[in-house]
Structure 1
Amino acid sequence: MDNHKTYCPAINLRGLTAIILSMACLLPSMTLAADNDYPTAARVDYVIGCMAANGQDYLTMQQCSCSIDVIAEQLSYDDYEAVATVMGMQEQRGEMGVLFRTERSMQDDVEHFRSVQADADLRCF
């Protein structure tokens, strides 16, 4: 005769429901953060470039940090990276540079980035 009883803790349905609802509320913000989560190196690179153009002091560093945060809210990292590539390639001489300077869809992307950057400047500077 086997008198072993298996242990099965009682499930507190109210507690479980509260946990599930809490997690559900967090999912949209976690997804948004993941969609627009720029790598630290990209954020630092932007801030260094921004400070080179606007000044090398603590206030400018705060404003430039704010600026990349605003850009990250409005533009996915993939789009940001694509625009940065286009802008870098526009400086190239020859046929390759001409392509990046004249292709309409690339120009539209750069214009959109510049409008997002202008919004960031208004909010942060």
Structure 2
Amino acid sequence: MTDIDKLEALAKAAGGETWSTETGRGTFDGMYVWYEDGDSVCRVFSNLGHMPEPVLEEELAEYIAAVNPASITALIAEVRRMRALLDNRPALNAGLVEAYMQWTACVYESDGSAMAKETQQ
């Protein structure tokens, strides 16, 4: 399982909220991922060598930019929300088993009584 606390700390330490991609600015060549303030997050290279399929540096840069601190912290918040729902599920469903048993008993009783009437006729 992923350590979401560590992942959250890393996202916050990475800086910025959202990142963008753009080819080099000024004297910079190539594809970069940028902070909102214009500083570069990283230079992206597509020559990964070990990949069986070519990876375009634009696509790789878009992916890196999408996995920004704001996205990661939003995903972590969703994971925590879903875990809380699952943790509270037994309390929400406590009476459902008994209600289901009563419902199925009523269904079978009504089916049985209908069948009994049919066989008597």
**TM-score, normalization: structure 2?**
0.32
More strand by share: 2
**TM-score, normalization: structure 1?**
0.31
